[in-house]
Structure 1
Amino acid sequence: MRYVDLVALLVVPDTNVFLHFRNFEEVPWADVVGRDDIVLVLLGTVVRELDKAKLTERNRDRARRVLSQIEGILQGSLHGVSAGGIPVRYQPERVLSATIEAEGLDGSLGDDRIFAQVIQLRASGADVVLVSDDLGVRLQARSREIRALVMPDVHRAAGSDPLRAENTRLKRDLQLMKSAAPRLQLAFAGTGTNRVKVCLAASVPRGEVRALELLDLRALPRPYRTGEREEPTVEQVAQYNHRVLKYNADYADYLAQLYRYQNFAAHHASLKLFVKNEGGVPAAQTAIVLHLPDALTLQTRFSELKEPDPPSPPRLPGRSTRARAVVGAESLVATRPPYVLEHPMPFAVSAPPNVTGPRRDGSDWIFEAGVIDNFGRVELPPFFLGWSSPAEVRNTTINFTLRAHNVPVLQKEALHVVVESAGA
């Protein structure tokens, strides 16, 4: 070994570096290994593998060019200088069997023969580094305390490896397919995200307390006044008493309806969603499935928003004898209860023409939106999200699934409803 080989770094490329990267004379080896004082070593094992490669259809042309370059550099010697001015040295396979046996290597494997030659170089006192793009080779080298560096991919020869080129093409085609597929997103109207904040009304007093307040406002049938009405018959009195009992029952139902009406805004949030397609092609047969927790309901019928009408009290029996006589009771409720649901549905409740639903399937609620154009959006019918009672109201997460006929993978995400109460 020459003196220059002892003080310089011996750079040993494996076979793949010669076959699948740019012309080895054009590679900036100083940048690859981080040193300027280097010698490029051509192992006898690598040259032998290049000779085999020139007989294969896949690497024939490249192997022949590399071997021709090596022959031109060495010019019948074991040493030479590359076109880039880097010293080049050929290291023949000498007595490898002893090293292979001592290191527990397999002489039939090209990589193991390369390891054996590098070990021989290192044993001579030289500083050696193996350069390879094969992770398995680098890991095996490090396990034998051989310094190994990766060959930077930036120096890979374009189209040098047909298999790699095919993989690159397939990856590119897959990316094009992904970019051309629909990309669906479900969001709240107003925020444009999957999170919304709602403010619910304060709940009214509990039913029995409110009922007592309202009962004080109920007008009971007035007593008779002398000369105003004829004396009723026994049958008329019996019918009247029956109507009074029914009126009391109807009034109790009215109070229950009124309590539900007044508390509706305390545990129902009006919501509206839209689904948009950010992909390059339309989404076909789109469906949005909301997976509601057990404590929640989804309501699209708005009968709860109508204030219930109080029942009418029965008329006093008997025929009036005065034209100015008052028949029946006064107005049932002198003062209407407050209408606390100030803005229950600040948007139209009719569904878009191409949207159906929601239909219920167990705890799931399904909207079907048909076709959503690329870069288009479709608004879903508004609905009320309801908790079982004002006491059960809390921040809620709603899982959902988006699917379309031409989207191969279901999108599973979540909506988040943050609740603020006026009574908090």
Structure 2
Amino acid sequence: MTPESAGPGSAGEVFRIFLRLGLTSFGGPVAHLAYFREVFVARRGWMRDADYAELVALCQLLPGPASSQVGMAVGLQRAGLPGALAAWVGFTLPSALLMIGLALGVAHGAAPPAALVHGLMLVAVVVVAHAVWSMARVFCRTPATRVITLLAAAMLWLWPSPWAPVAVLALGGAIGVLRRHQGAAADASALAIRVSPALARAARWSFVVLLVGLPLAASLAPSDSAAAVGAAFYRAGALVFGGGHVVLPLLDAAVVTPGWIEADRFVAGYGAAQALPGPLFAFAGFLGAGLQAGPGGWLGGGLALVAIFLPSALLVVGVLPVWQRLRRWPALAPAMAGINAAVVGLLLAALVDPLWTGAVLHWTDAALAVVGVVALVRGWLPVWALVPVLVSANWGLGAFI
């Protein structure tokens, strides 16, 4: 652990770190989890690998964008509720501003150079590969946990469903419990994120009341009102399992079907979101700003962003105390050993497909990825330095090969 791990931090500190992540975290939700682990576990020592893997597993089981929920929980641990808000704002702000600006025509829809996007994808490959290697050393020390990791990865490859991550985590936990008398064990200490019981209850009730109440309020207002927009985006954020890509059908039904935005514009905004760092849910800012419903513009973009992320924040605050009570159950310690191994399998599956298959197109790409992983493992380069190094190297090799 580094000296930074001692004592609480400030919301300003959390905001600055997550803003850097929001500017540089390319590659999608699983890559974001790897970036977070590198920054908050390996470099800053804010939590242990076991705590981080547990947090990832918990957020995978909740509806909403798992990487953003993990970020909120890290901020909550470091600086309380202001820290959770700072983490969300810092991580989401860069992509949200770009998406709203694009919707308003400020960015003119200019696409980034292909070589730049390709280099950034190679950075994501390196970061996820390093996370898999590091976490496997901690959580895959026995034959049983190695089998769980490989089984989880295989299931995710063969069953590309939004429910697959939930299923493999549950299976990993079940195998861990079944083998609890055969050496499968986990650290039984609770994840140290403190939320008062009263605040947690308020968050859980708010989640339910808003889920039921916003559609009722929208039904009493005009069909294109701000209440209708808020209800549509809140419902999408509250009911989606599997992250950013899975929310697209819900958003399509919510905004394209009623005629609030044209289908081709919807697809164009989604395509632009793929090239940006930060959470894919920032796509909501593009939609909210360009809708022919609600306030539109910057206010509409802000409304859509708050509405789609609010369920995730309420669930993180509301569920953590319940989870910490469940952690006292004797059977949960061996279950967490299996779940942690399944988390490694989740990262491994994403490393192979879509990251490796999408980014490694030539032997030079594979060579750059290997060199990048070695540089991280050996401590030759920090993660932030990989971005200019790998992007420049990819650009240079592309000019000569």
Q: TM-score range by the shorter chain?
A: under 0.3
Q: Name the larger-Rg structure.
A: 1
Return the TM-score normalized by structure 2: 0.19
